[in-house]
Amino acid sequence: MKSDLTHLDEKKRPKMVDVGVKEETERIAVASGIIEVTPEAFEAVKNETTKKGAVLHTAVIAAIMGAKRTPDLIPMCHPLLLTSINCDVEELPNLPGFKLIVTCKLKGRTGVEMEALTGVSIGLLTIYDMLKAIDKGMVIKNIQLERKSGGKSGDFVR
Amino acid sequence: MKSDLTHLDEKKRPKMVDVGVKEETERIAVASGIIEVTPEAFEAVKNETTKKGAVLHTAVIAAIMGAKRTPDLIPMCHPLLLTSINCDVEELPNLPGFKLIVTCKLKGRTGVEMEALTGVSIGLLTIYDMLKAIDKGMVIKNIQLERKSGGKSGDFVR
Amino acid sequence: MKSDLTHLDEKKRPKMVDVGVKEETERIAVASGIIEVTPEAFEAVKNETTKKGAVLHTAVIAAIMGAKRTPDLIPMCHPLLLTSINCDVEELPNLPGFKLIVTCKLKGRTGVEMEALTGVSIGLLTIYDMLKAIDKGMVIKNIQLERKSGGKSGDFVR
Amino acid sequence: MKSDLTHLDEKKRPKMVDVGVKEETERIAVASGIIEVTPEAFEAVKNETTKKGAVLHTAVIAAIMGAKRTPDLIPMCHPLLLTSINCDVEELPNLPGFKLIVTCKLKGRTGVEMEALTGVSIGLLTIYDMLKAIDKGMVIKNIQLERKSGGKSGDFVR
Amino acid sequence: MKSDLTHLDEKKRPKMVDVGVKEETERIAVASGIIEVTPEAFEAVKNETTKKGAVLHTAVIAAIMGAKRTPDLIPMCHPLLLTSINCDVEELPNLPGFKLIVTCKLKGRTGVEMEALTGVSIGLLTIYDMLKAIDKGMVIKNIQLERKSGGKSGDFVR
Amino acid sequence: MKSDLTHLDEKKRPKMVDVGVKEETERIAVASGIIEVTPEAFEAVKNETTKKGAVLHTAVIAAIMGAKRTPDLIPMCHPLLLTSINCDVEELPNLPGFKLIVTCKLKGRTGVEMEALTGVSIGLLTIYDMLKAIDKGMVIKNIQLERKSGGKSGDFVR
C-alpha cells in the first residue's frame, strides 16, 4: 500500500505542496459541526435568540473571520483569496445543541475545505466560550466536510 | 430560570467581561479531541510515525501556536500569558484515529479552557489537512474539557 | 518650548518607551467616535436593529477584537492584558448617524486610551463597510478620548 | 424603500458577499482623514519634521501596514492582493493638524475603499499615540472616501 | 550616481510600490542561511535527529509559516499567494552548525525573495530558541539569496 | 553527555516549557546583526539618511513591531509583555553595511533574547527589502546575543 502523504517531501519534511501547476477553477466547500449543550444552555441561547441572537451572531462572525485566518493557523495551508463565506446555524432541540454550517468559495488553484472546517471550528468554540459559565460539559463533535466541488480529484458528497 | 450569559451586557451586546477583580491564581486546563480516519490513513501516519512522526509532530506545533492565538480568534477571550502548553497524542487503533490532549497553564485572572480547546481544534485540523489527500471522510469529534482547576468557580473533572 | 516626544530617542529614532518603572494600577479609558450616514442608511440599520441588530452587533464585535489587536497595529504601543472591553452604541437620529463608545480596563503599567480609540475606529469602519453599498458619502468623525484614569499623569475628562 | 444591506443574508446573518462573479478590474480608492492637535503638538511634529520626520514617517508606515491588515480587522472584508499603497501627509497650520491621504490599488474583484480607510485610521491613530504625552485633547475627524474607480457601480468622486 | 530607492516616493516617504503593471509570471526564489552552534548543541540535535528530528522539524514548520507572514512583518512587502514553500536542512559537522534552505514559488506580479529570506530567518531563530538552554553563543549568519527567476530584471544566481 | 533540550518532552514532542515556577524579575537582552551591502547601496542609504532617513527609520519600526510578534512566529516562545524596545543603527563604512542593535526589557518570568533577536532579524530583512532593487547580493550576518541579564541562569556577556 502506497499512501500519498503529499505534505511530506522525500526526506519526510513537511512542505507546502506546489499548486502552481493546478488550474484556477471555481471551488466550493461546505463543512459542518455540532456543539452539544445542556437544556439550560440551549434555552439561554434560544431566549436570547428571539431577542437579538447575540451568541449565534457572534459565532457566525467568528467563523467568518476564522476561515480567513486558516493559512495563519494550519501550517501547510496555502494563502488564498476566498470570494465568499456563508454560515448557517440550525437549532437541534432534541440533542440539544446547535449545528454550524460554513460554505466557502474560491476562484483558485486549491480546495477550500480547510477554510470551511476552520470556520466551523472557530465558530463552535465561540459558542462554547459564551456558554461556559452555564455549562462546563459541552462537547464539540462531528466536524466534517459535507461536500466539495471544483477540484481535479472530483466532487465529494458525504 | 435565570441564565447567566456573562458575555452579554444588559442591552444584549457582547462584551469582554471584567476580570480585573479576580485574583491571580495558578490555573490549569486540559482539553482533548479525536479525529477518526480510515485504516489506510491511520497506517500512513503510523508508518511515518515510526520514522519521523511528521504528521503528529506538525499537529503538536500547530496546537501550541493555535493555543497562543486564542484571543485573536475567539472574540470575547481575554489576552493572557500562558506559562506552559503541553500536548500528547494517543493512537486509537480500534477507531481508528488519534486523540490529541492539550494542557495549558497560567498564573492569571481567568481560566484557560478556551486556550486548551482551541489548541486541540487547530491540532486536529492540521492532522486533517495532512491526511485529506488520502481520506475525505474524516470526522473531528469529542472536543471537550477534561479538567480545569484554579478558578473561583471550583475545579471541574469530566 | 520643550516638547516631550516620548516615542523618539535622542537620535530621533522611534522607540517603545520603558514602562517597567511605572506601577501597576487600575487604568480605565473611554473613547468615542461618530459615523454620519444618509437617512436611508440610518433607516436600514434601524429597521434591521429592531429585528436582529446585525450591523451594530458586528461593529461591537469588531471593536472588541480590534482593541485587542492594538499593539499589532500601532507601532509604539506596548502589548498589554486588557481585563475588560465594553461597547455602547447610541443612535443619533438628527445627524443622522451612530456614536460608538468603547471602554477599556487594565491592571498594568501603561494607559489604555489607544486600545479604546482603536476599538472605536475599527468598529466605525465596520459600520462603514456594511453600509457602503447604500451610502458612499459616509464620514467618520470625532474620534476622541472621553476620559481616562489611573495613570501617573492624573485623570483626564473631556 | 428597499435597502440593500448586502452583508446580511435572508436570515439577517452576516456573510462575506460572493465576489466570484465580479470581473477582475483595476480598482483604485483614495481616502483621507484629519487629526486636530494643539499648536504645541503641531510645532513638536514640525520641528522634528525638519530633521527626521519620525512622527509622520511612523504614521505612514503604520498606515501601509494597517491597510494590508484590513481583512483581519473588518469582519466582512475579503482578503485581497493590494498592488500599491501610497500615502501623503499635509500640514494644516490653521487647524492646526495633519491630513493623511492613502491611495490603494488592486487588480481584483472587489473595491479597495475599506483598505484605504483603514490605512488612514491606523495612520492617524499612530500620530495620536506619538503625541498623546503632549496633548490629550486631540480629535480624529473627517475620515472619508475621496474617490474610487474601477467597480461595476461606477466611479465616485466626493 | 542615481540610486533607485524604489520604496520611497519623491518626498522620501515609504510606499508599497505599484506592481499592477507587472505581468503575472512564474517566480521562484531560493534563500539560505546558517546557524553556528557548539559541538555539544550540534550533537544534541543530531542525536535527537536520528530519533524524531524535533528541533529541525519544528524549524521547517516555523520557516514555512514565517514565509507566509512576510507581508505582515516587512512593511513594504506586497501580500501575495505563494503556491509552494519547500525547505531543506543540511548538517554542517565541521562548523558545526546547520544550513537552512527555503524555496518559494509564486504565479504573480512580484518576486518572492523576501518570503524565502524571511522563512530562512524565522527557521534559524527557531533552532536558536530550542538550543539556547545549551548554547548562548550561537550565531546566525550568511542569510542570502541563492537564486531567483521569473522577474523582469532577469535571473539571479549567486 | 546529557543535553538539555528543554523544548522537548520525554516523548520528544515539542512543548512550551513551564515558566510558571520562575520568578518575575527585570530581564534585559541586547542582540545585534549586520547587513553587508554594496558601496552603491550604502551611499544610497547614507544620502537619504542625511535627509530623512527613511530606510533605517523603516527598519527600526519593523524591528520594534517584529519583536512584539515573536510569540506568533517562534513556535515555542511564550507570550510576554515587553516593557521597552529600543533600537540603534551603526553605519559600517568599511564593510560597507549597517549594524542593527535591539534592546528588549521585561518584568516577567522568561528571558527576552528571542524578542531581541527577532527584532534584529526583521529589521535587517526590512533594509534588505528596501535596497534589493539596487543590490541583489546583500548578506545578513552575525545575528547574535550581545548580553542578557535577569534570569536564573546568570548574566551573559559576549
Q: pLDDT tens-digit profile of A28-77? A: 999 999 999 999 999 999 876 544 468 999 999 999 999 999 999 999 99
Residue D32 located in a structural domain: yes
Grid cell digits, residue B147: 479538567
Helix (H, G, I), strand (E, B) or coil at B29: strand
User: In percent, how much of chain A has pLDDT > 70?
Assistant: 94
Is C78 annotated to bind a ligand? Reply is yes
Question: Annotated catalytic, C135?
Answer: no
Residue E157 located in a structural domain: no
pLDDT value for E49: 57
Is the pLDDT reported for residue F48 higher than 80? no
Is the pLDDT reported for residue C2 higher than 50? no
Average pLDDT over residues D38-56: 80
- Between A3 and E64, residue with greater pLDDT: E64
pLDDT grade for F2, boundaries at 50, 70 and 90: very low
Average pLDDT over residues A105-121: 96
pLDDT grade for D1, boundaries at 50, 70 and 90: very low
pLDDT grade for C120, boundaries at 50, 70 and 90: very high
pLDDT value for D52: 46
User: In percent, how much of chain D has pLDDT > 90?
Assistant: 74
- Between A131 and E5, residue with greater pLDDT: A131
pLDDT grade for D53, boundaries at 50, 70 and 90: low
Is F78 annotated to bind a ligand? Reply is yes
Nearest residue of C to residue A52, measured between CA atoms = C52
**Chain B contact for A43 (CB, 8 A cutoff):** yes
Distance of alpha carbon A33 from alpha carbon A46, whole angstroms: 19
List the single residue in F57, F62, F65 with the smallest CB-CB distance to D57: F57
Is the pLDDT reported for residue A2 higher than 50? no
Distance of alpha carbon C138 from alpha carbon E107, whole angstroms: 37
User: In percent, how much of chain C has pLDDT > 70?
Assistant: 94
**Would you tell me the crossing angle of helices D54-68 and D39-51 to the nearest 10 degrees?**
90
Residue D18 located in a structural domain: no
State the burial class of residue A100 (Cβ atoms within 10 Å of its Cβ: 0-12, 13-18, 19+).
buried
Residue B18 located in a structural domain: no
Selected residue of A2, A4, A5 to mutate for chain B interface (largest B Cβ count, 10 A): A5
A140 and B144: CB-CB below 8 Å? yes
Is the pLDDT reported for residue D9 higher than 60? yes
Residue ranges for the known binding site of D for substrate are 76-78, 114-115
Distance of alpha carbon C61 from alpha carbon A62, whole angstroms: 9
Q: Can you give the C-alpha Rg of chain B in angstroms?
A: 18
Distance from CA of C82 to the nearest CA of D (A): 17
Chain C stretch 122-151, residues whose beta carbon is closer than 8 A to a beta carbon of chain D: 122, 124-126, 128-134, 136-145, 148
Is the pLDDT reported for residue A149 higher than 60? yes
Q: Which of A136-140, C112-116, D86-90, E7-11 has the lowest mean pLDDT?
A: E7-11
Name every chain A residue with its beta carbon within 8 A of the beta carbon of C62.
61
Is the pLDDT reported for residue D42 higher than 70? yes
* 8 A C-beta contact, residue D81 and residue D74: no
Output the tens digit of pLDDT for each of chain E's 158 residues: 344 677 888 787 889 988 888 888 999 999 999 999 999 999 999 876 544 468 999 999 999 999 999 999 999 999 999 999 999 999 999 999 999 999 999 999 999 999 999 999 999 999 999 999 889 899 999 999 999 999 877 899 99
- Between E79 and D8, residue with greater pLDDT: E79
Point out which residues pair with B90 in neighbouring strands: B99
Residue F9 located in a structural domain: no
Query: Quick one: residue C132, left, alpha or beta (phi over 0 = left, psi -120 to 50 = alpha)?
Result: alpha
- Between B5 and B102, residue with greater pLDDT: B102
Name every chain F residue with its beta carbon within 8 A of the beta carbon of B84.
15-20
**Chain B contact for E54 (CB, 8 A cutoff):** yes
pLDDT grade for A23, boundaries at 50, 70 and 90: confident
- Between C139 and E50, residue with greater pLDDT: C139
- Between C22 and F152, residue with greater pLDDT: C22
What is the residue range of A85's domain? Answer: 25-149
Residue F66 located in a structural domain: yes
pLDDT grade for C53, boundaries at 50, 70 and 90: low
pLDDT grade for B52, boundaries at 50, 70 and 90: very low
Residue D15 located in a structural domain: no
Cα D129 to chain centroid distance, Å, stands at 17
User: In percent, how much of chain B has pLDDT > 70?
Assistant: 94
- Could you give the number of structural domains in chain D? 1
Sign of CA dihedral D115, D121, D123, D125: negative
Is the pLDDT reported for residue A1 higher than 50? no
Distance from CA of E22 to the nearest CA of D (A): 10
Sign of CA dihedral E105, E110, E111, E115: negative
Is A77 annotated to bind a ligand? Reply is yes
Mean pLDDT of all residues belonging to chain F: 91
* 8 A C-beta contact, residue C63 and residue C118: no
- Between D22 and B71, residue with greater pLDDT: B71
Distance of alpha carbon A46 from alpha carbon A49, whole angstroms: 5
Distance of alpha carbon C130 from alpha carbon D39, whole angstroms: 37
pLDDT value for B4: 64
Point out which residues pair with A56 in neighbouring strands: none
Distance of alpha carbon A53 from alpha carbon B12, whole angstroms: 9
Chain A stretch 67-86, residues whose beta carbon is closer than 8 A to a beta carbon of chain B: 69, 72-77
* 8 A C-beta contact, residue C15 and residue F119: no
* 8 A C-beta contact, residue E149 and residue F18: no
Nearest residue of C to residue D51, measured between CA atoms = C12
pLDDT grade for C80, boundaries at 50, 70 and 90: very high
Mean pLDDT of all residues belonging to chain C: 91
CATH number for the domain that contains residue B104: 3.30.70.640
pLDDT value for F140: 98
Element (H, E) at D93: none
ipTM: 0.95
pLDDT tens digits for F85-128? Answer: 999 999 999 999 999 999 999 999 999 999 999 999 999 999 99
State the burial class of residue E92 (Cβ atoms within 10 Å of its Cβ: 0-12, 13-18, 19+).
middle
Name every chain F residue with its beta carbon within 8 A of the beta carbon of C15.
64, 84-87
**Chain F contact for D61 (CB, 8 A cutoff):** yes
pLDDT tens digits for D65-88? Answer: 999 999 999 999 999 999 999 999
Distance of alpha carbon E86 from alpha carbon B46, whole angstroms: 23
pLDDT tens digits for E35-77? Answer: 999 999 999 998 765 444 689 999 999 999 999 999 999 999 9
Is the pLDDT reported for residue B29 higher than 90? yes
Selected residue of A58, A64, A129 to mutate for chain C interface (largest C Cβ count, 10 A): A58
Distance of alpha carbon E143 from alpha carbon E136, whole angstroms: 20
Name every chain B residue with its beta carbon within 8 A of the beta carbon of E52.
52-53, 57
Cα A10 to chain centroid distance, Å, stands at 31
Residue ranges for the known binding site of E for substrate are 76-78, 114-115
Is the pLDDT reported for residue F53 higher than 70? no
Mean pLDDT of all residues belonging to chain E: 91
Instruction: Say which residue the cell 489607544 belongs to.
Output: C114
Cα E139 to chain centroid distance, Å, stands at 16
Residue B9 located in a structural domain: no
pLDDT value for B49: 57
